Chains A and B, each alone.
Chain A
Amino acid sequence: MPARAGLAATLAHAMLPASPEPAAPVIRLDQVSKRYPGGHEALSQLSFELGAGEMAFVTGHSGAGKSTLLKLLGLLERPSHGAVMVGGVNLGSVRRSGIPRLRRQVGMVFQDHRLLMDRSVFANVELPLVVAGVPPAERGKRVRAALEKVGLLAHEKKSPPALSAGEQQRVGIARAIVGKPPLLIADEPTGNLDPQLAVEIMGLFVEFQQVGATVLVATHDLFLIKRMRKRVIVLDHGRLVDDVAAAEVV
């Protein structure tokens, strides 16, 4: 059934945590390699699955392929070999014109936030809803709900430069979740934050997982990973070297 359903339907299905049948994986990589022009192989023959409603960390030294992996999932890059499946859809079969629709199903958080510095916090968070064609009245409600979730409701009129680094990252997270995407991916979301702020931000991702989202976070912060007790996927030179289940994290 999931194999025949569309991406959105599968992802929506995956959002139900108390599904009676075992949920199909939201992310599935099958022998994925990525070689950049110039010959650098960022990923080689990487295979793993991430189930619906699951949360996992991807870790490894810098250059291990974490960012490349997330880029493949957001269709910012395409693999050189192998298949990347998101919500049962082989991304290799998604043509250029289909990319925007896919990206609306994947909330992305970046280390450098990628906020529009000349727009208000509200306008930044609103952007995915505008792009998706949500009516203005509905947009206002959802933007405020997302800002409330990240604790920034009082700052909606400010522009990002007026906020601290941690607050800016929370704006980025609000923007990623405002469209209620079934899959949330984050690339070093706590890279520039002090340990206490980092724990707070990670706490937000755990909350989204608890309401049913599938979450994949790339980080090299081992302290944080240990503390969160989630599944850990370890990469080294583009290869999977370890895959630790949540229960085994010590």
Chain B
Amino acid sequence: MSRHRARRGDPLPAAAPSARGRIATWRGQHAWSLHASLQRLAAHPVGTALTLTVMGFALALPLAFYLALGNLQRFGAALGESQAISVFLKPGLGAAAVAGLASDLRARADVAVVATRTPQQGLAELSAMQGFGPGLAALADNPLPYVLVVTPRAGLDARAGQALVTALRALPAADRVQDNSAWRGRLDALLTLGRRVVLLLGALLALAALLVVGNSVRQDIQAHAEEIAVMQLVGASPGFVRRPYLYAGICYGFGSGVVAVALVLLLELALTGPVATLAAAWGGGLRFAGLAPALLLAVPFAAALLGWLGARIAGARHLTAVEPH
């Protein structure tokens, strides 16, 4: 009862009765805490920079994997768009026979398009690729066969697709049948695994970042044990004592988020050129895509939340240890 009464009637303006006064007090105390924590971080620039860098790397790593995975997925999708089956015909087959075979295949219900690529076209394509020109020029005659590029009808399920491939393999004129969809299935499985790995890695590295913040805040608290004791002696509430450390955690988190985003942007910058060259070599149409701006923007805030949590855990563990009581 008396404890309850003691809460009222403080002669200091702390117990300003109006809501506006209370908000102003609250704001003033927060401003003081934020200022105190920023001052502290600035007082140890090397330690702060080290913490930010370590956390930044820990956060950048899953982001980089996510970036790679996203591009691989797009790459796979672009390749799979033409689920074409290449039928390499036996050498020595004449143009008329090839045309007849093509029209037979076009008549099939499970086939959408059949394109014919002549040996000349194949040779021209090869010559255009780097390094092949001089070697091909040395050949006396064209060793390339006719190729029929068969595009299955859209919406064909896996079993019907397999049946088509089997039928094509059974053709007497077919030398070799290359089925891109099998390759696609393997890539999909690999990407699913990759997504799982990125998720696990992200969780582990977020935990690492949490520990880094927690450790930095713990060291902060230990370095300021005397100050904390003095604040408690002059009547600071536990929340007030803890606040500068929570702000420090938020600052560590936000800063490391910015570092992580900067690292990923650097990575993107470094990779855009080589990936464009690679994509061009694969037939073009592919462009390297960076992470979504919204995601990049969200990273520092998510990291700030992580920093706050780390500081909160460290505060709960270590602030009570220095209470003079």
Name A's B-contacting residues (CB within 8 A): 5-9, 11-12, 74-77, 88-90, 93-105, 108, 114-116, 127-136, 138, 175, 179-180, 182
B3, B5, B233: the one within 8 Å of A74 (CB): B233
Task: List 21 interface pairs A-B (beta carbons < 8 Å), by A numbering.
Answer: A8-B11, A88-B2, A89-B5, A97-B238, A99-B325, A100-B232, A100-B238, A101-B235, A103-B233, A115-B230, A116-B227, A127-B230, A127-B231, A128-B235, A130-B29, A130-B32, A133-B13, A133-B16, A134-B13, A134-B14, A135-B13
CB of A116 within 8 A of CB of B6, answer no
Residues of A within 8 A of B91 (CB): none
A12, B24: Cα distance in complex, Å: 25
Distance in angstroms from B242 CB to nearest chain A CB is: 12
Interface of B is mostly: helix
A136, B5: Cα distance in complex, Å: 27
A128, B13: Cα distance in complex, Å: 12
CB of B29 within 8 A of CB of A133, answer yes
A129, B236: Cα distance in complex, Å: 10
B16, B226, B231, B325: the one within 8 Å of A131 (CB): B231
A88, B6: Cα distance in complex, Å: 10
Of the candidates A77, A98, A182, the one having the most CB atoms from chain B within 10 angstroms of its own CB is A98
Q: Given the known A-B contacts A75-B325, A116-B226, are A133 and B14 also in contact in the complex, defined by CB atoms under 8 Å?
A: yes
Distance in angstroms from A137 CB to nearest chain B CB is: 10
CB of B6 within 8 A of CB of A89, answer yes
Of the candidates A6, A88, A100, A133, the one having the most CB atoms from chain B within 10 angstroms of its own CB is A133
CB of B25 within 8 A of CB of A133, answer yes
A93, A100, A108, A132: the one within 8 Å of B2 (CB): A93
Distance in angstroms from A113 CB to nearest chain B CB is: 10
Interface contact tally, CB-CB below 8 A: 120
Residues of A within 8 A of B231 (CB): 127, 131
CB of A12 within 8 A of CB of B13, answer no
Please report the total number of B residues contacting A with Cβ < 8 Å: 35
A145, B29: Cα distance in complex, Å: 22
A8, A108, A175: the one within 8 Å of B10 (CB): A8
B27-42 interface code vs A (CB 8 A; 1 in, 0 out): 0110010000000000
CB of B236 within 8 A of CB of A131, answer yes
Q: Given the known A-B contacts A104-B235, A131-B236, are A12 and B2 also in contact in the complex, defined by CB atoms under 8 Å?
A: no
Besides A104-B235, A131-B234, 12 more A-B contacts (Cβ < 8 Å) are A8-B11, A89-B3, A93-B1, A96-B325, A100-B236, A102-B235, A103-B235, A104-B234, A108-B233, A131-B240, A133-B29, A180-B11
Whether, in the assembled complex, B324 has its beta carbon less than 8 Å from a beta carbon of chain A, the answer is yes
CB of B25 within 8 A of CB of A114, answer no
Residues of A within 8 A of B229 (CB): 114
Residues of A within 8 A of B324 (CB): 76
Whether, in the assembled complex, B237 has its beta carbon less than 8 Å from a beta carbon of chain A, the answer is yes
Distance in angstroms from B51 CB to nearest chain A CB is: 20
Whether, in the assembled complex, B7 has its beta carbon less than 8 Å from a beta carbon of chain A, the answer is yes
CB of B234 within 8 A of CB of A138, answer no
A100, B229: Cα distance in complex, Å: 12
Q: Given the known A-B contacts A8-B6, A99-B325, A116-B226, are A131 and B235 also in contact in the complex, defined by CB atoms under 8 Å?
A: yes
Whether, in the assembled complex, B12 has its beta carbon less than 8 Å from a beta carbon of chain A, the answer is yes
Distance in angstroms from A80 CB to nearest chain B CB is: 15
CB of A7 within 8 A of CB of B28, answer no
Residues of A within 8 A of B16 (CB): 133
Residues of A within 8 A of B234 (CB): 103-104, 108, 127-128, 131, 175, 179
Whether, in the assembled complex, B159 has its beta carbon less than 8 Å from a beta carbon of chain A, the answer is no
B100-141 interface code vs A (CB 8 A; 1 in, 0 out): 000000000000000000000000000000000000000000
A9, B9: Cα distance in complex, Å: 6
